[in-house]
Amino acid sequence: MDMKVKLVVWFLFMLTAPGLGSAARRRNLEVKRHLSRLNKPSIKSIKSPDGDIIDCIRISHQPAFDHPHLKNHTIQMMPSYHPEGLYRDGKRVGKKESGGITQLWHKNGRCPQGTIPVRRTREDDLLRASSIQSFGKKKHKTIPKPPSYAAPQPDLINQNGHQHAIAYVEGDQYYGAKATINVWDPKIQQTNEFSLSQLWLLGGSFASDLNSIEAGWQVSPDLYGDNNTRLFTYWTSDAYQATGCYNLLCSGFIQINNQIAMGASIYPLSSYRSSQYDISILVWKDPKEGNWWMQFGNDYVLGYWPAFLFSYLSDSASMIEWGGEVVNSESDGQHTTTQMGSGHFPEEGFGKSSYVRNIQVVDESNNLRAPKNIGTFTEQSSCYDIQLGRNGEWGDHFYYGGPGRNSNCQ
């Protein structure tokens, strides 16, 4: 038998050898099983212009009800109470979002009553994750920890590659938070980096038992496979160790709204020296049932996080934060050029720098009010910065963000 034939025989043997490729087959089976858990049967599917598939699934079939404590849960279809100050004389207070912000998939259809829209998870989404178990979860402890809260710990602030520009309040009991957040499409240098703007409701310590509810917009190529600006939520009850996830990628958040899809692209977006768009987000604790509700804009009550998911937040939050966050991977040994907000510093102002306006908290009487003693925090103001302001129309607000690497930020 000549050498060429021997090589062919050896190759065929290796292909059929017991155990060869078994790891790949197990991985493939694991991916398919996880996709079947996430992608519930739909009664309608909508192809978004950005390539997303939005599945309209029955409200009772959503991923939340995979949680063992929610097997016999009765869905609360509306909150028992809205915060006082959100409405006046039967009409909502405040202006509608600029330009009637919506989501891109709305161009091609809507989901019927009795369903919720869910962004379909694809095989590629799972394969980008370091593991199936880590898909949809944050990779690091990413809560900004202002110095006044306690002495900063390097592993939570400086060494995990996350940087922030935030405003915050602490020292009281908070039952909700609200903000109107300018929406941009910041440029991301590396696919493992992200840029976001959000609000945080926090309880517990910044160690192993932190409770957090988060909502805002983000650009995350690693999670979504593109650079689109998307609505997102996140929650954890153990400092991101085992509990919680983005959007509906695990059991937890119960959605009731058929108009807004978690993780779907926001449209339209702001542009430099041109039209500005923003979204309003309100998260508050229902004083009767104890669940944490989320409202998007003036018209969309999205759903709730059941109180039992949390320990500290089962009562109230002890700290509220608003602002931006990026991942600074320093993959080339220098600070990332990933932008925060619009990618421009606060001093440039309206139409150029990104803003968060009308920031409010919900107090123990279920009233929306202006926060007291607002602090600010950023790790490197030469990379990303923040400036507070107050006026009659915007209330307490701030401009924030920056370009990342520049002549003063290396």
Question: In whole angstroms, how far apart are CA 56 and each of 34, 60, 120, 294?
Answer: 19, 12, 10, 20
Q: For residue 216, which phi and psi values (nearest 5 degrees)? A: 170, -150
Q: Which residues contact 151 (CB under 8 A, 6 or more apart)?
A: none
Query: Two tokens at 289?
Result: 């049932």
Query: Two tokens at 393?
Result: 């129309």
- Give the alpha-carbon dihedral of 104, 105, 107, 110, to 10 degrees: -140
| Cross-sheet strand order for the sheet of 375-378 | 230-236, 211-219, 195-203, 317-327, 162-174, 375-378
d(CA 41, CA 53) in angstroms, rounded, equals 13
Active-site residue, 214 included: yes
Catalytic choice (214, 289, 379, 393): 214
Catalytic choice (97, 193, 321, 325): 325
Q: Which residues pair with 285 in a beta bridge?
A: 292
Contact 233, 246 (CB under 8 A): yes
Q: Which residues contact 110 (CB under 8 A, 6 or more apart)?
A: 46, 258, 259
AA letter at 105: W
Residue 237 in 3-state DSSP? coil
Active-site residue, 84 included: no
- Give the alpha-carbon dihedral of 292, 281, 105, 183, to 10 degrees: -150
Active-site positions? 214, 325
